[in-house]
Amino acid sequence: MKITGVIIARFQTPYLHEGHKYLLNEIRAKHNKVIVVLGISPVRGSHRNPFDFYTRERMLKQYDSSLVILPLNDERSDSNWSAQLDSLLGKVFPTESFLLYGSRDSFIPYYSGRYAVHELPDAGDYSATAIREENADKVKDTEDFRMGINYAYYNTYSKVYPTVDIAVLGQDNTVLLGKKHNAPEWRFPGGFADVSDDCFEAAAKREMHEECGNITTGEMIYIGSAKIDDWRYRSEADKITTLFFKTKWLMGKPVAADDLSEVAWVPVEKLEEFMQDHQITQEHHVLVRMLLKNLDM
């Protein structure tokens, strides 16, 4: 029985580079039947995996319409992934024998299934990652380019953006509020969590320092969370949910910086009045009410 060649790869690139073509051509020369198994990431639409299965399938079929393209989900466990790969091939083609191919940085070190594997030598220093990065800011004046952007965004999960807001409680029953540039209403200092933050408490401390200067406070105490009716996202599927913290001011003079143009200590007993007089941004009314229920340190 003749053996079917199987390529295990991701092909996460806008076009096939010479290394891809070498891999495909070498295996096509050895086998009359060639299967390409494409890895499917659990993360939808990322920098590392921007192209979905259908886009990569079309690209490969355009290069060689005789290729059989199959999807295979990524697995946390290499042994589970190996078993899923063997099961996929065996169920789709139960009467065939297979030889699995890979090249540099391929699946081979992680595979523990029952089929034989063969590693092809490198055909040059080609990198799909480098191609993606090189073309990340390249704009083309074509309808296909614009349709591709439309397709990508409509096939990405709607996102919840996490932010942090902080109630810095000072002496004499006061709380530190700030005003954004060109905005008349008061608000709690805060901002978006960053991928570099180890936790939301760290994000809260970072945002507090960025917007209020080098002040010293106690620990960040989580109060609760709330969806924020941010004007930038009212017409979007994506939304903002903030995690609200309180902390006790210990020392240092607050100085407005970054997104804030002004900071001031406001008596806690004035917060209700400020809300009624529209002196606090409507987006943070829910946070004021949360704070008033959780004032005890």
Q: What does the mean pLDDT of the chain come to? A: 94
Span 236-262, pLDDT tens digits: 999 999 999 999 999 999 999 999 999
- State pLDDT tens for residues 137-174: 999 999 999 999 999 999 988 999 999 999 999 988 99
Buried b vs exposed e over 104-129: b needs ≥16 C-beta within 10 Å?
Answer: eebbeeebebebebeebeebeebebe
CATH number of the domain within which 191 lies: 3.90.79.10
Radius of gyration of the chain (CA): 28
How many CB atoms are located within 10 Å of the residue 36 CB? 23
Judgement on whether residues 222 and 150 belong to the same structural domain of the protein? no
Residue 31 and residue 97 in one domain = yes
Percent share of the chain, pLDDT over 70: 98
> What SS3 class is residue 54?
helix
Last residue of a domain, one of 108, 139, 154: 154
**For position 230, what pLDDT does the model report?**
92
Whether residues 116 and 240 share a domain: the answer is no
Can you say how many angstroms the Cα of residue 108 is from the centroid of all Cα atoms in its chain? 27
pLDDT digits (tens, 9 = 90+) for 9-33: 999 999 999 989 999 999 999 999 9
- The reported pLDDT for the residue numbered 218 is 96
pLDDT in tens, 45-89: 889 999 999 999 999 999 999 999 999 999 999 999 999 999 999
- Tell me the pLDDT band of 103, cut-offs 50, 70 and 90: confident
| Closest CA relative to residue 205, chosen from 247, 170, 175 | 247
Q: Of 126, 154, 182, at which residue does a domain stop? A: 154
Instruction: Give the torsion through C-alpha atoms of 233, 239, 245, 249, to 10 deg.
Output: -20
pLDDT of residue 10: 92
Number of domains in the chain: 2
Res 45: pLDDT: 85
Question: What is the reported pLDDT for 2?
Answer: 86
Kindly tell me the sign of the dihedral angle through the C-alpha atoms of 140, 146, 151, 156: positive
| Structural domain harbouring 228 | 160-292
**Could you tell me which residues come within 8 angstroms of residue 203 by beta carbon, excluding any fewer than 6 positions away?**
164, 193, 194, 197
Domain check: are 55 and 177 in the same one? no
Residue 297 has pLDDT above 70, yes or no: no
In whole angstroms, give the CA distance from residue 80 to residue 83. 5
Cα-Cα end-to-end distance for the chain:
76
pLDDT in tens, 164-185: 999 999 988 999 999 999 899 9
Q: Are residues 13 and 150 in the same domain?
A: yes
In the numeric block, the tokens 């905005």 are attached to 183
Which of 131-135, 215-219, 271-275, 277-281 comes out lowest in average pLDDT? 131-135
Q: Is the pLDDT of residue 124 over 80?
A: no
Domain end point (choices 133, 154, 175): 154
| pLDDT surpasses 70 at 208 | yes
Least confident of 131-135, 214-218, 250-254: 131-135
What does the pLDDT read at residue 74?
95
